[in-house]
Amino acid sequence: MDKQEKTIHEIRKFNRFYTVSMGFLDSNYLDTQYSVVETRILFEIQKNERCIQNDIVKEMHIDKSYLSRIIKGFCKNDLVRKEKSGEDKRATFVTLTEKGAAETERLIELTNQQIKEKISGLSAEECDRLCSALDTVISILGRDE
Amino acid sequence: MDKQEKTIHEIRKFNRFYTVSMGFLDSNYLDTQYSVVETRILFEIQKNERCIQNDIVKEMHIDKSYLSRIIKGFCKNDLVRKEKSGEDKRATFVTLTEKGAAETERLIELTNQQIKEKISGLSAEECDRLCSALDTVISILGRDE
DNA sequence: TTCATATAGTGGATTTTGTCAACTATTTCT
DNA sequence: AGAAATAGTTGACAAAATCCACTATATGAA
């Protein structure tokens, strides 16, 4: 087994570990009422304030009609507000309402809590080693992004 | 920001990076005809030869009726064979057919290929650092599993 | 200008995916 | 033996996701 094969093997092993460990496979986000997709959309809106729907479509590779409906639902539940763009009248800005922002914060807090549980037993030294290992992975695999 | 918060922050950053980088969000597995769930089921059957359906249900946390139907479909497409257990007549062993085994190999080869592309530009030294970083993460986060 | 083409978003129809509850056939527990 | 638990199946349904056609703008070229 050469070095490349060994690396492939290692990444596969890591993927198995990490998907299970981080619960990426569960389709409902941490027992909340939101699906993983909905959660990611909320995060996305929070991150890029005043993004238009199509930005999210591109970023997340989801169908535009699918997103349109989810956003519609968010509006109905007063999580999000739509606003027609002035420059381009086709585009719609999407922003979090106060309630939406609070809800998004709550979701973030829940992931933080989940992560906290995983790292609760770690010493300061282990935290350091973990952080730098993660950084190493990002810096090596994320070279050209 | 204390050490724990810093670690949480780092893990969140890594998760964002990794889900995108590894394409965990795409619901169809690498443009194949199989869904991510179906692919994982095939991998599972390959890994534990002669497992019973319920093993997969437990391992993957999916509904038994859901699995039952997927397995039924696999049988129809001649990917999988069911066999009644002798000891426990309720249980059904599930094994890959020749075609199923070949198909599973093909799927594995596809992920390998995908990984290969990501690491193609790396030097031997970087491969080493990557592997040991991944091992570090597993050893620290996977303590009690 | 005007016509073709592209883009942003919406809504109808449909398919795929996943869940829930009821049921059969065993097995295990007491 | 009888009650409770387990493995799997099926029907009915709900949720998630896709496909297609459509409107309304915007862009680019003749």
Residue B70 sits in a domain whose CATH number is 1.10.10.10
Q: Give the pLDDT confidence score for residue B24 in this predicted structure.
A: 62
Residue B56 within any structural domain of the chain: yes
A58 assigned to some structural domain: yes
The residues facing A81 across adjacent strands are A95
| B54 inside domain | yes
Report the alpha-carbon distance of residue A60 to residue B68 in Å, rounded.
31
Mean pLDDT of B135-141: 94
Mean pLDDT of all residues in chain B?
A: 89
The pTM of the full predicted model, rounded to 2 decimals, is 0.85
Residue A129 lies in a domain: no
How does residue B105 score in pLDDT terms, banded at 50, 70 and 90?
very high
pLDDT at A24: 64
Confidence grade of residue B145 (pLDDT, cut at 50, 70, 90): low
Those of residues 126-145 in B touching chain A at CB distance below 8 A are: 126-131, 133-138, 140-145
Contact residues on chain B for A119, CB-CB shorter than 8 A: 4, 7-8, 11, 141
Packing angle of the helix pair B124-141, A124-141 (nearest 10 deg): 140
pLDDT score of A29: 66
* A55 to chain B, closest Cα gap in Å: 15
Res B71 pLDDT > 70 = yes
Say what the pLDDT of residue B143 is: 77
What's the number of domains chain A is made of? 1
pLDDT band at B136 (very low <50, low <70, confident <90, very high): very high
pLDDT value, residue B85 = 83
Chain B residues close to A140, C-beta within 8 Å: 122, 126, 129-130, 133
pLDDT at B95 over 70: yes
* C1' of D11 to CA of B57 (Å): 21
The whole-angstrom separation of Cα A89 and Cα A83 is: 10
Sort out which chain A residues have CB atoms less than 8 A from B141's CB and list them: 17, 21, 118-119, 130
Check residue A49 and give its pLDDT.
Answer: 84
* CB of B54 nearer than 7 A to strand D: yes
Residue B82 domain flag: yes
Does B62 map to a domain? yes
Report pLDDT for B54: 96
Q: CA–CA separation, A59 vs A55, rounded Å? A: 6
Per-residue pLDDT at B21: 74
Domain interval for residue A86: 26-114
Give the pLDDT score at B103. Answer: 95
Residue A15 domain flag:
no
Residue range B13-40, pLDDT digits in tens? 998 888 777 766 555 666 678 988 999 9
Please count the other Cβ atoms lying within 10 Å of the Cβ belonging to residue B85. 12
CB distance A42 to A58 below 8 Å: no
3-state SS assignment for residue A86 = coil
Give me the helices (H) in B3-97, please. Answer: 3-21, 36-47, 53-60, 64-76
Is B122 inside any structural domain? no
Q: In tens digits, what is the pLDDT along chain A, a chain of 145 residues? A: 788 899 999 998 998 888 777 766 565 666 678 988 999 999 999 999 889 999 999 998 899 999 999 999 999 999 999 999 888 999 999 999 999 999 999 999 988 988 898 899 999 999 999 999 999 999 999 876 5
Contact A30, A110 (CB under 8 A): yes
